[in-house]
Amino acid sequence: MLIIVGLGNPGGEYERTFHNAGFWAVDALAELLGVAVKDKECKALTGKLYKGDEKIVLAKPQTYMNLSGDSVRELMGKYGASAREVVVMYDDVDLPFGALRIRKDGSAGTHNGMRDIVLKAGEPPRVRIGIRKDDERPLRDYVLSRLTESDTEILGASAKSAAEALKKYIYDRDLEKIMREYNNLKVES
């Protein structure tokens, strides 16, 4: 069992914002795997595939970001998954724009969605997609701001790299190897 969750906010007004990087990464992974993420369950849009007898669930919680733990906890309960059988992909303002960091566990940092998941569902492995730029706006305004064309290209490439890393993880489950390969990666314009 593996549940791969991408964090974001539902609704068209949030679609092209920094805070939806996790949704972008799940969409990129779904495309790589040929899966449609459109079923509605456990307060999320999901898509499923099998690797042998193992079920893989891709999920985009449809709660607002700060309540992501509700959806993740429900998915874990429905599928009988532990926190170690979940991987969460999300934007991280603590990392430079375009950087990726894959971790087995650790602090949720400043990310309220990840904090909610840790509180309600445990400490899953995570893929952090860097969004930090020099910007003087308050954090909330920045993460919910509309992306420029250049930002869209970089975030799209970062999401695709995160998806490629998770596709490899699905097939070989060697998180250490994937960390070595992707943790020094930084997409630039």
Which positions are catalytic? 19
The amino acid sitting at 45 is: L
Place of tokens 């724009």: 97
3-state secondary structure of 45: strand
Beta bridge partners of 100: 129
Place of tokens 């940092």: 109
Place of tokens 């607002």: 64
Q: How far apart are CA 68 and CA 173, in angstroms?
A: 25
Q: What's the DSSP call for residue 112?
A: H
3-state secondary structure of 178: helix
The token pair at 142 is: 């920045």
Query: What contacts 24+ positions apart, CB below 8 Å, involve 150-154?
Result: 150/189, 151/18, 151/97, 152/16, 153/189, 154/97, 154/98, 154/187, 154/188, 154/189
Do 100 and 28 meet the contact criterion of CB atoms below 8 Å apart? no
